[in-house]
Amino acid sequence: MPLVVKKDQSRATFEREKVYAGIRRACEKLPISVEQMENLVNEVERYVQELGVEEVESRVIGQFVVRKLRDLHPVAYVRFASVYKSFKDVDDFTSELKVMLDERKH
């Protein structure tokens, strides 16, 4: 398993439980089963392994999770994206929602 390069350039081992915790928070109180969340974590872990690299940026992992959550449930997607993309205010939420709604129209 590759090392994860964090935003501050520190490195850490990939921790499946950290990925699961972030997904679980995003999916809290939504109609998403534990099995669906575990399957997503499995996909993330498999994706990271299949990259075949010694190090992977946390950003790459986050982007993968965001794409998967977007398909799974729009609220879970926005929740995860708000942390992952470091939304600063309501305008950031509004912009992201607008993009998502525009994409649904097409």
pLDDT tens readout for residues 10-64: 999 999 999 999 999 999 999 999 999 999 999 999 999 999 999 999 989 998 9
What pLDDT, on a 0 to 100 scale, did the predictor assign at position 90? 74
Domain that residue 91 falls in: 3-105
What pLDDT, on a 0 to 100 scale, did the predictor assign at position 82? 78
Check if the beta carbon of residue 77 is closer than 8 Å to that of residue 100. yes
The tally of domains found in the chain comes to: 1
What pLDDT, on a 0 to 100 scale, did the predictor assign at position 94? 77
Instruction: Return the higher-pLDDT residue of 66 and 86.
Output: 66
DSSP 23-75: HHHHHTTSS--HHHHHHHHHHHHHHHHHT--SEEEHHHHHHHHHHHHHHH-HH
Check if the beta carbon of residue 64 is closer than 8 Å to that of residue 44. yes
* Ramachandran angles phi, psi of 43, nearest 5°: -60, -45
What pLDDT, on a 0 to 100 scale, did the predictor assign at position 95? 77
Token pair listed for 96: 């992201």
DSSP 13: E
pTM (global) more than 0.85: no
Residue 106 confidence class, pLDDT cut points 50, 70, 90? low
pLDDT tens readout for residues 74-104: 899 888 887 766 667 777 767 777 776 677 6
